């Protein structure tokens, strides 16, 4: 049979997934030399003898990278090694200056942790196998040829600016037992991991720039089987949504093969953003022997237990704890919380309230206007270019009468565009209620003169007709007048006040 949905698959197979996540640290200098890690820059300008692999050059470990890795390990409930080494992973490739990658192999700095993630109110524990350090490679550009790949290219260019940037690899244990939720749990894990890394301040965690990259391992086993199925490794998964799609697509593809009596090849596959499917890459069965052995140019990393405890004590409040605290301080009902959670705005509302706004107003903005804006832009609400502090300021300015609702939205639009302070946006756009009575009086007279029928109705006692005239005045003042004040002026002028 063919499998159209994950639910079809689950009738016969049990999925297991695992994730290998690469995170570029945001240290100022590279992992083993003093070169800058800034993104971009003219090719090969952020290089030195060490990261170019020149004869004789040696590495020296960036201590901040070690500290960042320990922070990540602690945040993921890992044990921290008291002694571990770097290793060399040997293979030839032109973006590898030394033709070996300095990495960690069987002695990771952090190991054996977990991360709890929540999907639909249920907590799933994702085991963390290891968190280890390595260096990034350079970047090849293959020029000419049809595919943009090395085969068939006229020539290739190598940029070593990225070579040696600290990379952290976070490897989960296989995650079984999530059933139909497997794709969502996988996405929730990467989301939670991203939030932790952002909170720790150790990485920019920008998937679109490649500072957070995921490889997704997926396998299926017949229901009741005692062994894992053969797994595939899907690369090129460059967004949170793609994580979910990649797991789903592999489950459906593998189920189709298994049902047709075919076997799954253990291979690397590439996720196709446009189709949501995976395509085969190189086969793991013919993979190179990396001949790992200890990196003897570096001394072992042996973090003192006291130092580790000091790092633990100074960790910032992590997202899960912050969320629990915010929920408590919000004091909302379980239903309301679920709504906010579904909209992905619990923390945003909580922080807006912490910044001084009333709960109702904060929810109103985040679940209303801002969620609409996010949907229009096809991003997560949390990814909007506006912070809880911004929103709290807008709410305060409405409360004290400085901004009308219409002006407040214009102010928010300005922040979304520029990221500037609310007050700076107001100043730049000239968003002030018109309180110049003379100007309002004139605008009211003009509106009355322009619509004599409506004016007469009001004079005759049909007060409801004033809405049309208020609208005219507001239009004339580009929304900057206080609608209530305008209404009062109009009614007075037409003998109804």
Partner 1 sequence: MTDLIRLTAAETAAKVATGEVSAVEVAQAHLDRIAEVDGGEHGGVHAFLHVDTDGALAAAKAIDGKRAAGEELGPLAGVPLAMKDVVVTRGLPTTSGSKILQGWIPPYDATITTRIKDAGIVMLGKTNMDEFAMGSSTENSAYGPTRNPWDQTKIPGGSSGGSSAAVAAFEAPLSIGTDTGGSIRQPAAVTGIVGHKPTYGAVSRYGLIAFSSSLDQAGPFARTVLDTALLYEAIAGHDPLDSTSLDVPVAPVVAAAREGANGDLAGVKVGVIRELGGEGYEPGVTAAFEAAVATLKGLGAEIVEVSCHSFDYALAAYYLIAPSECSSNLARFDAVRYGLRVGDDGNNSLEDVMSLTREAGFGPEVKRRIMIGTYALSSGYYDAYYGQAQKVRRLIADDFNKAFAQVDVLVSPTAPTVAFGIGEVLDPLTMYKNDLATLPASLAGVPAISVPAGLSEGLPVGLQIIAPTLQDDRCFKVAAAFESASPFPEIPS
Residues engaged in binding partner 1 (CB under 8 A): 49, 52-61, 88, 90, 92, 94, 97-100, 150-151, 156, 158, 289, 291-293, 296-299
Least spacing, CB of residue 44 vs partner 1, in Å = 10
**Given the complex with partner 1, which of 27 and 404 has the nearer CB atom?**
27
**Given the complex with partner 1, which of 79 and 90 has the nearer CB atom?**
90
**Given the complex with partner 1, which of 92 and 438 has the nearer CB atom?**
92
**Given the complex with partner 1, which of 91 and 307 has the nearer CB atom?**
91
Least spacing, CB of residue 254 vs partner 1, in Å = 28
Least spacing, CB of residue 299 vs partner 1, in Å = 5
**Given the complex with partner 1, which of 155 and 331 has the nearer CB atom?**
155
**Given the complex with partner 1, which of 87 and 395 has the nearer CB atom?**
87
Least spacing, CB of residue 157 vs partner 1, in Å = 11
Least spacing, CB of residue 266 vs partner 1, in Å = 16
Phi/psi-derived region of residue 443, left when phi > 0, alpha when psi is between -120 and 50, beta in every other case? alpha
Least spacing, CB of residue 196 vs partner 1, in Å = 30
**Given the complex with partner 1, which of 58 and 399 has the nearer CB atom?**
58
**Given the complex with partner 1, which of 299 and 450 has the nearer CB atom?**
299
What do you get for the CA distance between the two ends of the chain, in Å?
Answer: 76
CA distances from residue 401 to 42, 359, 395, 407, 484 in whole angstroms, order as listed: 51, 19, 10, 11, 11
Least spacing, CB of residue 50 vs partner 1, in Å = 8
Least spacing, CB of residue 61 vs partner 1, in Å = 7
Q: From CA 416, how far away is CA 429, in angstroms rounded?
A: 14
**Given the complex with partner 1, which of 11 and 299 has the nearer CB atom?**
299
**Given the complex with partner 1, which of 59 and 183 has the nearer CB atom?**
59
Least spacing, CB of residue 219 vs partner 1, in Å = 23
Chain-centre distance for alpha carbon 352? 20
Least spacing, CB of residue 211 vs partner 1, in Å = 26
């Amino acid at each position: 049979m063919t499998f159209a949905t994950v639910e079809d698959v689950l009738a016969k197979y049990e999925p297991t997934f695992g994730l290998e996540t690469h995170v570029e640290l945001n240290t100022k200098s590279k992992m083993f030399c003093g070169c800058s890690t800034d993104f971009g820059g003219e090719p090969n300008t952020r290089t030195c003898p060490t990261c170019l692999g020149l004869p004789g050059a040696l590495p020296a470990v960036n201590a901040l990278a070690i500290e960042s890795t320990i922070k990540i390990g602690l945040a993921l409930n890992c044990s921290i090694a008291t002694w571990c080494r770097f290793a060399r992973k040997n293979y030839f490739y032109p973006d590898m200056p030394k033709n070996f990658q300095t990495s960690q192999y069987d002695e990771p700095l952090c190991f054996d942790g977990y991360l709890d993630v929540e999907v639909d109110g249920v907590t799933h524990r994702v085991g963390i196998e290891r968190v280890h350090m390595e260096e990034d490679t350079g970047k090849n550009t293959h020029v000419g040829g049809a595919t943009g790949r090395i085969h068939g290219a006229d020539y290739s260019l190598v940029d070593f600016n990225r070579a040696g940037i600290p990379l952290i690899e976070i490897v989960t244990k296989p995650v079984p037992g999530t059933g139909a939720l497997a794709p969502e749990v996988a996405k929730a894990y990467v989301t939670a991991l991203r939030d932790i890394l952002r909170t720790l301040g150790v990485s920019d965690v920008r998937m679109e720039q490649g500072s957070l990259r995921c490889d997704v391992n997926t396998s299926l086993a017949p229901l009741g089987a005692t062994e894992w199925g053969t797994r595939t490794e899907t690369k090129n998964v460059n967004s949170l949504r793609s994580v979910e799609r990649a797991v789903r697509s592999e489950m459906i593809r593998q189920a189709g093969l298994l049902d047709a009596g075919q076997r799954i090849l253990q291979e690397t596959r590439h996720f196709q953003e446009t189709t949501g499917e995976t395509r085969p890459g190189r086969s793991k069965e013919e993979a190179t022997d990396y001949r790992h052995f200890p990196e003897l140019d570096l001394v072992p990393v042996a973090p003192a237990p006291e130092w580790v405890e000091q790092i633990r004590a100074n960790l910032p409040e992590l997202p899960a704890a912050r969320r629990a605290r915010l929920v408590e301080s919000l004091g909302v009902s379980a239903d309301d919380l679920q709504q906010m959670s579904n909209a992905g705005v619990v923390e945003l509302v909580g922080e807006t309230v912490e910044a001084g706004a009333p709960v109702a107003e904060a929810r109103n903005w985040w679940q209303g206007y801002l969620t609409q804006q996010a949907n229009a832009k096809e991003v997560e609400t949390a990814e909007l270019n506006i912070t809880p502090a911004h929103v709290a300021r807008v709410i305060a300015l409405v409360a004290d009468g400085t901004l009308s609702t219409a002006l407040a939205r214009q102010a928010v639009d300005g922040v979304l565009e520029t990221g500037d302070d609310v007050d700076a946006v107001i100043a730049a756009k000239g968003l002030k209620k018109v309180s110049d009575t003379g100007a309002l009086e004139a605008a009211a007279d003009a509106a009355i003169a322009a619509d004599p029928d409506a004016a007469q109705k009001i004079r005759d006692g049909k007060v409801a007709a004033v809405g049309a005239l208020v609208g005219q005045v507001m239009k004339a003042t580009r929304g900057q007048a206080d609608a209530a004040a305008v209404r009062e002026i109009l009614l007075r002028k037409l003998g109804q006040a």
